[in-house]
Amino acid sequence: MKILAITSCPNGIAHTYMAAENLQKAAAKLGIEMKVETQGSIGVENQLTEQEIREADGIIIAADKTVVKDRFVGKKLLVVGVQDGIRRPEELIQRVMKGNVPVYQAESRASEASSQENKPKQNPIYRHLMNGVSYMVPFIVIGGLLIAIALTIGGEKTPGGLVIPDGSFWKTVQDIGSASFTFMIPILAGFIAMSIADRPGLAPGMVGGFIAANGSFYGSEAGAGFIGGIIAGFLAGYVALGIRKMKVGRALQPIMPIIIIPVLSSLIVGLIFVFIIGSPVAQLFEALTGWLAGMQGTSSILLALILGAMISFDMGGPVNKVAFLFGSAMIGEGNYEIMGPIAVAICIPPIGMGLAAMINKRKFAPAEREAGKATFTMGLFGITEGAIPFAAQDPLRVIPSIMAGSMVGSVIAMLGNVGDKVAHGGPIVAILGAVDNVFMFFIAVIVGAAVSVILVSLLKRDIATANPAVAGEETSGNSAAVTEQSTMTTTAAESSASAIANNEPEVSSQAIHIEKLTDIVTMDLINLDLEGTTQDAVIDEMIGALERNGAVSSASGFKQAILDREKESSTGIGMNIAIPHGKSEAVLKPSVVFGVKRSGVDWKSMDGSEAKLIFMIAVPRNSKDNAHLKVLQMLSRKLMDDHFREALLAVTTKEDAYQLLTQVH
């Protein structure tokens, strides 16, 4: 029998490797073949291959953070916390052996991409964009479908469009859908920014996205739409990242990620959007409105082409709104043949993209094909925003394709004298009797959608040769979770620094090469009889050893780094073990102090045990390499060996302790 496993913890350090070690030991004891993939702060290690997953009898995920499960569709999958992997590994394996585990049935979002072991390096801009899009999609689906249901069942035709009576049940349903739509652009911008700058980027990204979506901030009747949201997200992310890399005093370091970075970034992004980006958007809105008003006496075909292009260009943004409001104004003047082509153009992007995704397996990943069903449905109800996820993922191919389809459909509707008496679009208005010349309306929609399907199918690359992200590779808004890709070394490095240095990125200087623990442990850094009776006293005692051996220039400076790390979460990892660690300018050379406190000291460990074996890791702040994280990995794995822990507690001389520590590699 063959079982696979994945382990991961929030910091991606000790517990990740402790769980991996215990699962492997338990599997060996039970005579089970097992491979464990670790998703730690230094990235994905021992990655599971497609063949291994295919041949596995079951998979165990022992993790306290998001692990993408899409590659395990159709496999028996047991999902538990990382502590279960540490404490109950045999029980977990036996559950899989007995078949007492559900089969994972979710549609695969990344299975096709992850099956390619030699994937080209992913464009970071695309990765950030995809992170925002993946979180935005549910809000579009919720809003679009709820509004569509409410309009279909509770909508009434009026000169101002389809209206649901106030106070009715379906008005409440519509309001819930509208509320979901209001989150769409802020979520897109927020998670783009979070992908770039980690959690400090989330708030400024959402603030920037909200401003982008609300033209009232900069004197526009319509917001900047999803294009403005993308601009706001990238702007917020890189502003936050720039502030995060600034050197500040130790007094400010703890409040950088929760106060200084979010506040400054939000203010900068908001001011830039309101006073620099927003004003041109408002002026463009006014200019386009005036331009369209002046075209009423010109060629109807040219006007239809322009309206179709505008409607599909930004799908709910300012350009779309100009065309839509122009058509609505014409209804008030009794001219219904302007709104007719607009009603056709409104539904072609989602219908076209929905059909293209559902029928073209070579161009769209399984998750995109599944999303295409919801997109197509939204198109039937005239909700153009349904196509936004596809446009945001691949704008250079998708937007021209849907613009061409909308332009063709709009022209056919204009030539066919299609009129629309309500300010809405899509087949729903034809079914409700608001459209003149219904036959030509549907001809225009079908032909326009077909043009979009053909063009996008020709322009898009096959998912086997495209950017891995195009194949539906999911990214997490949390940068630590994005380490699913081994190519994302920048994100992994930032996450590593976060675990050691309170969200401070690594800056520069020499690399640290550590093959085994004794490379940075000396006899003088071993204390088999710690005197301190409290956590603080033991920390002072161990830092004193570092200071005496010239490893730190300032005991107080390094202690602050240790305490800052303890504030994030206790480094007492359980089983009578504590691994305090810090990264500081006060550290002159990488070192580890090993101490024994046989009576134990309270370290607020997760399992409530007192710390008896204590390893203090000191790393220079300007270290360039991530090798010091290997120390945490090596220690975590080796300390899962009961005999090794017992031997360490039983040693009586520094020489014996040193010899034991040579086994940590």
Tokens of 537: 């006293």
Q: Which residues of the chain have pLDDT under 50?
A: 107-122, 464-510
> According to the model, what pLDDT value does residue 87 have?
84
d(CA 54, CA 509): 44
> According to the model, what pLDDT value does residue 623 have?
66
Question: Which residue numbers are catalytic?
Answer: 9, 581
> According to the model, what pLDDT value does residue 372 have?
87
Amino acid at 73: V
d(CA 23, CA 90): 7
> According to the model, what pLDDT value does residue 446 have?
95
> According to the model, what pLDDT value does residue 298 have?
58
pTM: predicted TM-score of the whole model, two decimal places? 0.45
> According to the model, what pLDDT value does residue 405 have?
94
228-243 burial, b for 16+ CB within 10 Å, e for fewer?
A: bbbbbbbbbbbbbbeb
CA 413 remoteness from chain centre = 41
d(CA 232, CA 83): 39
Closest CA to 418 of 388, 386, 440, 391: 440
Amino acid at 167: G
Tokens of 216: 């009232």
> According to the model, what pLDDT value does residue 510 have?
44
> According to the model, what pLDDT value does residue 129 have?
76
CA 521 remoteness from chain centre = 39
- In contact, 491 and 196? CB cutoff 8 Å: no
Beta strand pairing call for 156-158 and 161-163: antiparallel
For 189: left if phi > 0, alpha if psi spans -120 to 50, otherwise beta; the answer is alpha
- Sign (positive/negative) of CA torsion 300, 304, 307, 309? negative
Beta strand pairing call for 419-420 and 435-436: antiparallel
CA 601 remoteness from chain centre = 39
What kind and span of H or E run contains 599?
A: strand 591-601
The set of long-range contacts for 629-632, using a CB threshold of 8 Å and a minimum separation of 24, is 629/13, 629/40, 629/41, 629/42, 629/496, 629/499, 629/500, 630/42, 630/514, 631/514, 631/517, 631/520, 631/592, 632/13, 632/14, 632/17, 632/579, 632/581
What kind and span of H or E run contains 34?
A: strand 33-40
> According to the model, what pLDDT value does residue 144 have?
67
